[in-house]
């Protein structure tokens, strides 16, 4: 039984990679009925692919006119449809926005690409790292010597999947009010830039140097960064506010060694060196015993496996078992309509007739 604020919302997802399946998982976890249309012959997802959970999967040969018509019959009864192909692919298949919205004028058509539906780079291949590179944000991440790939969270999942979902739900509210759907062009370069707006604003205000590891939030500040401990593990310190910084000085015993003011950027490198030496005097767990849960703004840097066992994560049930596999639980949390994993990745393949039969009945 579906649970969540999107119960009753019908979604058609054209199968893709990375942020596309994540968006489908997110909508399903919030209660939507998500129909994934995969290419004919696509193998079922393995149990560990949590982003494939909670879907009803149909396999079609989209080069067939009958299959395209099947898609359009499903879309006629859908609220949202989304795809993550390069510009022009869906039009060539006969499933572009004009055709789709002629059959269902109220549908919201989500499009997710790296570069957007137009622009000099719109037809080029790329990945998260490339999209993040042209936003200026990749340049700002990492040690002074070189930028580093920050996993594929900034552009793919933050700028892609999350903005796609927010955009489609905003357009759905408009469609419910006016009866008119629209296209949501989710370009990872646009959206990652929007995510990084704070740093563009900082630079415009003259308080952000366009170099790495010299600024407040990029590891340049001695009170905001990661420090290695005696056992080779790390802790994260974020003591920005003056009262938190004073507590950091007390807990580390650094007050008598740091004579300069907290925000004296000219002396940050030498103050960072003091903290580097101090944190090497205890193990990570010893620092946890001294600082965790205080207003220092402290946390141990955990591995992925350690994160699943941390008491805070355990009490909040951030990780749950589904289909015999430990997965991340749905978020955020709703007081009246909690989301839920509808079912684990399944090897079942549905037919369009199965779905249309269900969609002929009144919505919940």
Rounded CA-CA distance 209/227 in Å is: 23
Of 193, 197, 186, 185, the closest CA to residue 135 belongs to: 193
97-126 per-residue burial string, b: 16 or more CB within 10 A, e: under 16: bebbbeebebbbbbbbbbbbeeeebeeeeb
Other CB atoms within 10 A of residue 353 CB? 10
The CA-to-CA distance between both ends of the chain, in Å, stands at 11
Catalytic residue among 79, 128, 156, 218: 156
User: Are 205 and 125 spatial neighbours (Cβ–Cβ below 8 Å)?
Assistant: no
Residue 127 appears among annotated catalytic residues: yes
User: Are 106 and 36 spatial neighbours (Cβ–Cβ below 8 Å)?
Assistant: no
Residue 312 appears among annotated catalytic residues: no
What one-character-per-residue DSSP string does 27-91 give? HHHTT-EEEEEEETTPPPPPTT-GGGTTEEEEEE-TTSHHHHHHHHHHHHT-SEEEE-PPTTHHH
Catalytic residue among 127, 139, 174, 310: 127
Residues 6+ apart with CB under 8 A from 318: 328, 329
The strands making up 234-238's β-sheet, listed across from edge to edge, are: 224-228, 234-238, 298-300
User: Are 192 and 209 spatial neighbours (Cβ–Cβ below 8 Å)?
Assistant: no
Point out the residues that are catalytic. 127, 156
């Amino acid at each position: 039984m579906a649970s969540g604020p999107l119960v009753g919302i019908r979604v058609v997802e054209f199968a893709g990679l990375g942020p596309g399946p994540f968006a489908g998982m997110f909508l399903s976890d919030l209660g939507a009925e998500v129909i994934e249309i995969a290419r004919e012959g696509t193998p079922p997802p393995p149990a560990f692919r949590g982003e494939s959970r909670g879907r009803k999967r149909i396999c079609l040969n989209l080069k067939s006119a009958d299959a395209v018509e099947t898609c359009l019959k499903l879309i006629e009864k859908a609220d949202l449809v989304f795809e993550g192909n390069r510009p022009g692919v869906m039009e060539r298949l006969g499933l572009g926005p004009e055709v789709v919205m002629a059959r269902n004028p109220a549908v919201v058509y989500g499009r997710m690409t790296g570069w957007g539906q137009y622009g000099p780079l719109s037809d080029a291949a790329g990945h998260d790292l490339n999209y993040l590179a042209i936003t200026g944000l990749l340049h700002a991440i990492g040690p002074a010597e070189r930028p580093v790939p920050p996993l594929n969270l900034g552009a793919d999942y933050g700028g892609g999947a999350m903005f796609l979902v927010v955009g489609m739900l905003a357009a759905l509210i408009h469609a419910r009010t006016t009866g008119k759907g629209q296209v949501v062009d989710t370009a990872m370069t646009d959206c990652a830039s929007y995510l990084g707006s704070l740093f563009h604003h900082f630079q415009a205000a003259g308080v952000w140097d366009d170099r790495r590891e010299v600024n407040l939030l990029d590891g340049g500040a001695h009170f905001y960064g990661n420090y290695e401990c005696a056992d080779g593990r790390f802790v994260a310190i974020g003591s920005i506010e003056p009262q938190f910084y004073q507590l950091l000085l007390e807990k580390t015993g650094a007050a008598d060694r740091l004579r300069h003011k907290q925000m004296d950027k000219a002396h940050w490198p030498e103050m960072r060196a003091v903290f580097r030496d101090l944190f090497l005097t205890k193990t990570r767990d010893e620092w946890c015993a001294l600082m965790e849960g205080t207003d220092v703004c402290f946390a141990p840097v955990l591995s992925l496996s350690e994160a699943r066992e941390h008491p805070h994560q355990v009490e909040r049930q951030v990780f749950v078992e589904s289909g015999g596999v430990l997965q991340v639980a749905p978020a955020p949390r709703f007081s009246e309509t909690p989301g839920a994993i509808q079912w684990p990745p399944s090897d079942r393949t549905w037919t369009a007739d199965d779905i249309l039969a269900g969609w002929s009945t009144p919505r919940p």
